[in-house]
């Protein structure tokens, strides 16, 4: 893998502007260091990563590995910035080297995960070491002391779980990176609440021997605008629970053929449905990707009334679906 250095001025205001949670926006608005002049930031352009990519939402999932490599290459520069702003604590996720900087510079590190506690407890704890070459039977096991007999591995999830053993960034597997981040941090924070996942939260605290802080669901504020009248009329034609809503969140970008196959499958189901998807790769709008026979009646963004829900199984998408 090759690297090229590019002169890039960091602007956290660009990334924080994407945050939807009003409570987080208020917290960041009070952070005076966001208004300080920032030094030039040398961003390494990793082969295969498009210029300007900053977050997981900017690239499809197969490129998250390269994005993580780029993050690792900024370690010395991040250290220099943290030495200047002198924070009391730093929240991070996959930058497993942040805790070491914290011990050196005198701040506390908190590994913050938006994925549910059950997901971490099942696959991302020291008791469940995931390495290359594990058999199907080994991948179907739950870790010792795991608190559930119902939230367990499914056969169709084994292939995805095996990807945790693949390299993710510079020199570490995804499993090692995420487990090391939790092991080395001073505390773990999760986007969940005890009412949802109490036994899994306790299991994680036991596995890592440190506090597990709960951020709650961290849902966006209710939209101020009302559902357009034409969509309200359309939804009102159907009984409760009869319309299927499909959402894959902001980090999933399908290929065009995947996008079209998904829509055609819903059409073949014979059920009324609504979809909320990002434009697929190679398309600038939703409309140009919709199969010709389905274009009538589609809309890129739409509110919905509570109904059957299909997602890509990411925790944040389930929370938003519940909202």
Q: Is the pLDDT of residue 305 over 50?
A: no
pLDDT tens string 43-76: 677 778 887 777 777 777 778 888 888 889 889 9
- Mention every residue, 6+ apart, whose C-beta is less than 8 A from residue 64: 56, 168
- Tens digits of residue pLDDT in 198-225: 999 999 999 999 999 999 887 766 665 6
Give the model's pLDDT for residue 11: 47
* Chain segment 156-171, per-residue pLDDT in tens: 889 889 999 999 988 8
pLDDT of residue 70: 87
Q: How confident is the model at residue 322 (pLDDT cuts 50, 70, 90)?
A: low
Closest CA to 57 of 288, 317, 311: 317
**pTM (global) more than 0.85:** no
Domain ranges of the chain: 3-214, 229-322
The pLDDT of residue 185 is 97
The CATH label, of 3.40.50.1100, 3.40.50.2000, 3.40.50.300, 3.10.20.30, for the domain at 229-322 is 3.40.50.2000
> Which residues are CB-neighbours of 208 under 8 A, at least 6 positions away?
125, 126, 182, 183, 188
Average pLDDT, the chain: 79
One CATH from 2.30.29, 1.10.150, 3.40.50, 1.20.1250 for 3-214: 3.40.50
Give how far Cα 316 sits from Cα of 113, 170, 249, Å.
11, 27, 8
Matching fold, domains 3-214 and 229-322: yes
Query: How many angstroms separate the CA atoms of 144 and 142, rounded?
Result: 7
Please report, rounded to a whole number, the percentage of residues in the chain having pLDDT higher than 90: 39
Two tokens, residue 300:
């890129």
**Which residues, 6 or more positions from 114, have their beta carbon under 8 angstroms from its beta carbon?**
93, 191, 315, 316
pLDDT grade for 26, boundaries at 50, 70 and 90? low
Per-residue pLDDT tens over the stretch 219-253: 766 665 677 788 788 888 888 888 888 877 666 77
pLDDT at 105 over 80: yes
pLDDT of residue 7: 43
Residue 137 has pLDDT above 90, yes or no: yes
């Amino acid at each position: 893998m090759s690297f090229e250095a590019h002169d890039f001025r960091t602007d956290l205001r660009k990334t924080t502007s994407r945050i939807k949670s009003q409570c987080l926006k208020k917290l960041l608005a009070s952070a005076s260091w966001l208004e300080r002049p920032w030094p030039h930031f040398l961003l390494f352009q990793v082969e295969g990563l498009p210029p300007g990519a900053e977050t997981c939402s900017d690239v499809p999932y197969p490129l998250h590995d390269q994005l993580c490599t780029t993050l690792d290459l900024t370690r010395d520069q991040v250290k220099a910035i943290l030495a200047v702003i002198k924070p009391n604590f730093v929240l991070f996720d996959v930058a497993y080297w942040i805790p070491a900087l914290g011990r050196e510079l005198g701040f506390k590190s908190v590994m913050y995960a938006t994925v549910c506690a059950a997901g971490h407890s099942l696959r991302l704890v020291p008791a469940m070491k995931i390495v290359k070459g594990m058999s199907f039977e080994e991948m179907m096991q739950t870790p010792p002391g795991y608190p559930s007999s119902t939230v367990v591995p499914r056969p169709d999830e084994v292939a995805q779980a095996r990807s945790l053993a693949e390299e993710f960034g510079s020199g570490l597997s995804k499993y090692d990176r995420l487990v090391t981040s939790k092991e080395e941090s001073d505390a773990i924070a999760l986007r969940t609440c005890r009412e949802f996942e109490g036994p899994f939260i306790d299991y994680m605290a036991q596995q890592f021997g440190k506090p597990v802080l709960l951020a709650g669901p961290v849902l966006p504020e209710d939209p101020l605008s009302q559902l357009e009248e034409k969509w309200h009329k359309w939804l009102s034609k159907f009984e409760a629970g009869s319309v299927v809503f499909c959402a894959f969140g902001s980090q999933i970008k399908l290929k065009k053929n995947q996008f079209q196959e998904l829509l055609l499958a819903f059409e073949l189901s014979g059920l009324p449905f609504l979809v909320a998807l990002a434009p697929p790769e190679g398309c600038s709008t939703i409309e140009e990707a919709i199969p010709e026979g389905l274009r009538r009646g589609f809309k890129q963004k739409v509110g919905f009334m509570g109904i059957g829900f299909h997602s890509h199984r990411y925790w944040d998408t389930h929370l938003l679906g519940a909202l």
